Structure 1
């Protein structure tokens, strides 16, 4: 089963595996949202969109539809 950034739980960390570069805004790429980088879900806004993440030591708000296009592998389970 392929996991996406949209499926990450609050506090979980993951490694970005892949995405379709045509569907990801250039600004996210510039901020380090690239394969191999670690990402952590910090918070989810009311109604589930947007997601507030940290990637490459930057805090980023990302739309849910964009998060669904980024495949990940979880590296740390949520211990909240």
Structure 2
């Protein structure tokens, strides 16, 4: 399984599953990241935190820890 954190800059991936529970999963879903949503990785900071993605037509920066909970294909 590949996570969003392992995705390279310039790749487009599709959300396969959200790991984590409770408030963490709800926060990720509130950002518009749900199963089947395409994500484009725009930039990755030099130390890997944060990751800038394009989701549903807007740009979003998420933390490395949150990116590990998003399984993609």
Quickly name the TM-score band, shorter chain normalised.
0.7 to 0.9
The question of whether the paired residues in 1 share the 8 Å contact of 2:41 and 2:54 is answered with yes
The question of whether the paired residues in 2 share the 8 Å contact of 1:43 and 1:51 is answered with yes
TM-score normalized with structure 1 length: 0.79
Q: Which moved more, 1:13-22 or 1:34-43?
A: 13-22
- Partner residue, 2:18: 19
State the shift of 1:31 in Å: 3.0
Q: Which runs of 5+ in 2 are unaligned?
A: none
Q: Which runs of 5+ in 1 are unaligned?
A: 74-80
Judged with a 3 Å threshold, the aligned counterparts in structure 2 of structure 1 residues 25 and 50 are, in CA distance, closer, same or farther, namely: farther
- Partner residue, 1:76: none
* Distance in structure 2 (CA, Å) of the matches to 1:65 and 1:25: 15
Structure with greater Cα Rg: 1
Report how many aligned residue pairs link the two structures.
71
State the shift of 1:42 in Å: 0.2
